[in-house]
Structure 1
């Protein structure tokens, strides 16, 4: 693209219009941008607060120090803000940044997307996603049920994805009375789309882009397809196939912030839990640090030295990733860059060694595996209970009682008002009813999921 075309492209990418609104119709306060408001709306949302009791790596850890999804998301947001501001400064240098947008605004867009990137994760982290997928494979392959779901709808559950649930939360289930959910800007939502495609994509398209990092997963359910396509079209990202888009350029910065944080801080947590020694952690982080950094000497306690090493390593990776982003910006803009920034950086081999160690020595620790297994039983059991009551609309007394346990607000969309759960369910398809179930269960915290399962199973009685 010519320089003038690229500038116009960035004007679309950074548009501050809001999903579900035709124009700005709320007061703008001096000193507070639309992107500041995005950040604040996410921070004050209930799903964000719930992240304080959702698994990062060590589920239901008794240690006050180890990260939860909340602290992880806050840390990712800090790194994302730095990457965004550095990216914004480069856009100024190249004359691509619109006059009404500053590098700080770019940092805020990336920071807001980072805050929201894990909102859709169910209890027990990625094992929770897998538990929902396994349940769907067992339940939705029943021949008697195939007529109730299209193939695309079945794929949404067979491949259940926290990224798609994050978009659903922001665009629909929060602020469900009107179109667009909490109505974030198109720029922030576009940045959130790591995998801008639906769950079901034609085989030839998947084969064509099989090596592209943006095709590893998906980012929207069929129920939110119209909203997702609006975000992509308003921001102007290239369309690769029907409903399949290239990433927003700022998405690469959000992804890098997440990659940087969880790789390093998971090992920091493992050290605090005494799963790995200081010497092991030091040797893993050392290759990621600047060649001329001041290495913590023996006068520092190990915990202090680990904090310093973590800081050095994160700083080095931020610089490495932003350099790749700047070098590859034109191919990122036209949708032909298919790697993560870390993978394309000079620090990737050291980073990969660190990740491989974590897989072998941390994520397979018995304490992690035992509680994750309990998560499979918990989520699978809850899905069985609520499928019978909500999706199949069973008439047994237990099903009728369970329908009154799920908050009626979970069944209400578009401002409709009914006087009973049965009346709401009557207006929803089987697919929509199952989405209501996964909304409810994936929105539970780890502790709430275990507590509810135990009560519904009769293992524990309410007090």
Structure 2
């Protein structure tokens, strides 16, 4: 049986290992509020501004990047946290909700994991993950490469980044609370384990086994068991992906507001929620037509109204399902692989909107072309990084030593303290590549290629 007292554990790993904070900057904030602030000010968070959400290397500032996506997921998660803490405090968190300070802590922890959930994603979004997986699979000795890399995933890289790579002044990463680290895990299992809890992926690299076991022990969780708030974070990610990506698809000019409405109205799974959202959006569109607006302005403002209505419906639906199922979640009787949105009244709306995004946005020829270019950059860069890591101390290979010297000192320091095995080399290549923004990747790739040609 899970307990909120342990799930909201505000201990930090550094403290668990006998070290205490000496700078004294936490006055006036709870530890979960501090976690959000640490993530907000971290360098990898800023790098998300130059990483793809849906549309690679986008020049239109109004189209989302991975950073604006993360801010929106964080906002949605915090909103649900506020409702849970103020409207359902006793039902969800029990009689000790005041002692647990849920009104401050729940919105803060959800805002933190929403902001952090994509930090480990490589350049070019999910296509970047696929390119990295393919590069490892294409190597001559791929049968000796760990599943950590053959099935590389940004979620596991996020956990590694926060707990190990993003150094402050020691080996504890950002030294977040164990409660926040546990809530961050969308996929609570270690690569190679058979106990995935019904979820589709593994979420922790083998290299972070000791860390995650410590987090689980402190929070009362175990492999295959999600922190309850991870369900909320996942739902908010689904909401953002479905609704907001549709808005960007229209913003890009790949489809119109009317295309979306027609698509939703013709979906086989159309239900009352879809009808209500479409009706509300079309009603506002009819009102806007009376104004002196251009077709682009009409499209944009009509999509904004769709977004507002759809998100409102989905946030309420996700909150309701969470409250209704909290006892099953806490007791461990929730069905394997359970998701809030899929079990809500907005299930068909979310599914249909994602289908629209895929057909009109993700599969547009311009997007596919840029993704292919990104994939080529990634694979080529990984080849150069691998040679650099393999020959980092060999004076006979000046180019490789130059490339190796460009890898983050933090990442190299962690690698140098390892056994320098094939696993460790693969991991350094992934650390270096995942830490790059898209413009930096292209810039360095161009630089490296010119140096190769010059020699």
Shorter chain as normaliser: what TM range? Answer: 0.7 to 0.9
CA distance in 2, matches of 1:289, 1:236: 43
Contact 1:59 1:368 in 2 (8 A): yes
Does residue 230 (structure 1) correspond to residue 226 (structure 2)? The answer is no
- Could you say which residue in structure 2 is the equivalent of 1:13? 7
Shift of 1:430: 3.0
CA distance in 1, matches of 2:437, 2:33: 27
Given candidates 284, 290, 294, the residue that maps to 1:296 is: 284
| 1:59-116 Cα distance to aligned partner (Å, 9 max, x none) | 0012111000000000110000011122223233452535131223201101100100
User: Against the structure 1 CA distance between its residues 20 and 219, is the aligned structure 2 distance closer, same or farther, given a 3 Å change threshold?
Assistant: farther
| 1:318-371 Cα distance to aligned partner (Å, 9 max, x none) | 010111111111221233323210000122122211112222221100111001
- Could you say which residue in structure 2 is the equivalent of 1:119? 119
- Could you say which residue in structure 1 is the equivalent of 2:128? 128
- Could you say which residue in structure 2 is the equivalent of 1:190? 182
Shift of 1:141: 3.1
Shift of 1:392: 5.2
Does residue 160 (structure 1) correspond to residue 152 (structure 2)? The answer is yes
| Structure 2 counterpart SS, 1:170 | helix
With normalisation by structure 2, the TM-score equals 0.87
CA distance in 2, matches of 1:289, 1:29: 48
Shift of 1:460: 11
- Could you say which residue in structure 2 is the equivalent of 1:403? 404
Given candidates 3, 9, 21, the residue that maps to 1:25 is: 21
Shift of 1:451: 1.4
Question: Unaligned 5+ residue runs, structure 2?
Answer: 266-272, 289-297
| 1:105-133 Cα distance to aligned partner (Å, 9 max, x none) | 20110110010000000000000000110
CA distance in 1, matches of 2:439, 2:78: 31
Question: Unaligned 5+ residue runs, structure 1?
Answer: 414-420
| Structure 2 counterpart SS, 1:139 | coil
Does residue 356 (structure 1) correspond to residue 355 (structure 2)? The answer is yes
Shift of 1:157: 0.4
Shift of 1:15: 1.1
- Could you say which residue in structure 1 is the equivalent of 2:440? 448
Higher helix share: 2
CA distance in 2, matches of 1:142, 1:13: 39
- Could you say which residue in structure 2 is the equivalent of 1:61? 58
With normalisation by structure 1, the TM-score equals 0.86
Shift of 1:32: 1.4
Query: How many residue pairs get matched?
Result: 426
CA distance in 2, matches of 1:120, 1:334: 31
Contact 2:33 2:108 in 1 (8 A): yes
CA distance in 2, matches of 1:91, 1:24: 32
| 1:176-223 Cα distance to aligned partner (Å, 9 max, x none) | 642321111111111100001112123xx46xx5xx2xx211221111
- Could you say which residue in structure 2 is the equivalent of 1:139? 139
Shift of 1:405: 2.8
| Structure 1 counterpart SS, 2:441 | helix
| 1:303-324 Cα distance to aligned partner (Å, 9 max, x none) | 2222122011101000101111
CA distance in 2, matches of 1:288, 1:73: 26
| 1:374-425 Cα distance to aligned partner (Å, 9 max, x none) | 1111111111111112035564332233222324332113xxxxxxx9xx38
